[in-house]
């Protein structure tokens, strides 16, 4: 569908206008991040400077960055590996009621994490997983239904004929998976990985309870050190830290963007 006429200038103006609307709330973030005397109000920086960024990066920020990376990358990768195994099997084996099964699993995810936080905590404690590995496992459990449904749909779009052709030529199963299935659903894998990564990257509640020592805290908890007692807030720190905090996730988005733009077509369920 590449034959459309060129966009009109009115549409372009509307889009530019929308872009402005969309970024305008960030005025608050920037004005506070670059104001070392930030007081949480929207104003031109009273004492412009980079002090907040220095403050946000000193201290445990680097350790927290690596912990966040561990949680984000770990959850996304574990979810992907575990999810694809099952999703491929579900896609290729004609198990009766498999679609209904997947949909019910996605619905289970309806249970808000806060609702089952306490049993998860006790379970993690009893198997000695009150640490960042435990967070990875817990978040994988919660993300798996979505991932499996998405992945199965992506695998469904890979034509079986190609696999059969490779089989006829004598390729083994692992080789077919590696050479045929993986490349053709690479985009889908990227999508699932990215969205699992961002949700784990932003997770606050599980680290708050699971991470036993300060060395294990991720950046989501670091962000909260901006909030003090009686509702006091260090705005400069909060704004600068959240920019630093969001940056890696945005970088990851750009690294995966090429894959994702072509990959989303597989998301729909072919009912």
Partner 1 sequence: MRDPRSSWASPWLSGSIPVLVLAALPALLFVGVLLYFTLWAVVFSFTDLELFGRKATDWSFVGIENYERLFTRRGFLESLWTTLTFTFFSAIVGQSVLGFLLASTLRRYRGSMRGTIEVCLMLGWLLPDIVAAFLWSATTSKTGLVNQVILGPLGVEPVNFLNDYALQVVILANIWKGTAWSYLLYSAALDNVPGEVVEAAKVDGANGWQRTRRVILPIIKPHIGTNMLFITIWTFTYFPLIYAMTGGGPGSQTETLPIFLYQQSFSVGKLGYGSAISVAMLAIVGVMSIFYLRLLKEPK
Partner 2 sequence: MKAPIQGAAICALFAGATPALADVSIMYPDWITALVEPAIEAYEAETGETVTSTRLPTDGYDRRIAVDLAAGTAADVVVLDSFMVAQLADAGYLASLDEQLADWDQYQQFMPALLDVTSFDGTAYALPVDTDVRMLWYNRSVFEEAGIEMPWTPETWDDVLETATTIKDETGIDYAFVLPAGTKQGEAATMQGFYMALLGADTAEGERNRLRNWEEGKWIADSPAIRQVAELYDEVYNQRELTEPSINYATDLGNATREALASNELGIFASGSWERSCLFNCNGVDIPSPEERAEIVGWTPWPSSGAEGAEQGANVSGGWAMGLNAGSGDMEAAKQLLTTIFDYDNFQPWVVDNGRMAVREDIAASEDFAANDYLAAVTELSANTTGRDTYPGYQVVSSLIQDMTGAILDGVPVDEALEEYREALVDEFGEDSVMTLD
Q: Which residues bind partner 2 (CB under 8 A)?
A: 37, 39-41, 46, 118-119, 121-123, 125-128, 130, 204, 208-209, 212-214, 221, 224-225, 227-234
The residue within the footprint of partner 1, chosen from 72, 83, 218, 236 (CB under 8 A), is 83
DSSP character at residue 178 = I
224/264 with CB nearer partner 2 = 224
Closest CA to 259 of 157, 191, 158: 191
Backbone angles phi, psi at 198, to 5 degrees: -65, -35
The residue within the footprint of partner 1, chosen from 9, 10, 22, 58 (CB under 8 A), is 22
Q: What is the DSSP string of 105-172?
A: HHHHTTS-GGGGHHHHHHHHHHTT--SHHHHHHHHHHHHHHHHHHHHHHHHHTS-HHHHHHHHHTT--
The residue within the footprint of partner 1, chosen from 44, 94, 229, 232 (CB under 8 A), is 94
Instruction: Tell whether residue 231 is a contact of partner 1 (CB under 8 A).
Output: no
Instruction: Tell whether residue 255 is a contact of partner 1 (CB under 8 A).
Output: no
The HSE-up count of residue 191 (CA atoms within 13 Å, CB side) is 21
Instruction: Tell whether residue 221 is a contact of partner 1 (CB under 8 A).
Output: no
Instruction: Tell whether residue 40 is a contact of partner 1 (CB under 8 A).
Output: yes
Q: How far apart are CA 180 and CA 155, in angstroms?
A: 11
Q: What, of partner 1, partner 2, none, does residue 59 touch, CB below 5 to 8 Å by kind?
A: none
Q: How far apart are CA 51 and CA 31, in angstroms?
A: 13
Tell the smallest beta-carbon distance from residue 20 to partner 2 (Å).
23
# of chain residues touching partner 1 (CB under 8 A): 96
Closest CA to 189 of 106, 270, 249, 263: 263
Backbone angles phi, psi at 213, to 5 degrees: -125, 160
Tell the smallest beta-carbon distance from residue 253 to partner 1 (Å).
6
The residue within the footprint of partner 1, chosen from 17, 49, 54, 164 (CB under 8 A), is 164
Q: Which residue has the tokens 């961002």?
A: 198
The residue within the footprint of partner 1, chosen from 9, 42, 44, 231 (CB under 8 A), is 42
Q: What, of partner 2, partner 1, none, does residue 232 touch, CB below 5 to 8 Å by kind?
A: partner 2
């Amino acid at each position: 569908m590449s034959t459309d006429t060129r966009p009109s200038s009115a549409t372009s103006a509307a889009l530019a206008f929308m872009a402005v609307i969309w970024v305008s709330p960030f005025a608050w973030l920037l004005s506070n991040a670059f104001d070392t005397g930030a007081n949480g109000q929207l104003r031109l920086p009273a004492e412009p400077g980079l002090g907040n960024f220095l403050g946000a990066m000193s201290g445990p920020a680097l350790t927290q960055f690596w912990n966040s990376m561990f949680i984000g990358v770990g959850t996304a990768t574990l979810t992907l590996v575990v999810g694809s195994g099952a999703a491929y099997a579900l896609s290729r084996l004609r198990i009766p009621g498999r679609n209904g099964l997947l949909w019910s699993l996605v619905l289970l995810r309806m249970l808000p994490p806060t609702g089952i936080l306490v049993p998860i905590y006790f379970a993690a404690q009893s198997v000695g997983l009150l640490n960042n590995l435990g967070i990875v496992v817990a978040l994988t459990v919660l993300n798996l239904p979505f991932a499996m449904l998405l992945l199965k749909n992506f695998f469904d779009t890979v034509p079986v004929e190609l696999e059969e052709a490779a089989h006829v030529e004598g390729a083994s199963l692992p080789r077919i998976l590696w050479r045929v299935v993986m490349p053709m659903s690479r985009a889908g894998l990227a999508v699932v990985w990215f969205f699992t990564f961002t949700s784990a990257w932003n997770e606050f509640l599980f680290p708050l309870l699971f991470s036993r020592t300060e060395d294990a805290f991720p950046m989501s908890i670091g962000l909260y050190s901006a909030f003090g007692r009686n509702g006091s807030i260090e705005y400069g720190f909060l704004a600068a830290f959240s920019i630093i905090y969001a940056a890696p996730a945005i970088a990851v988005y750009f690294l995966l963007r090429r894959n994702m733009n072509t990959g989303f077509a597989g998301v729909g369920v072919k009912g």
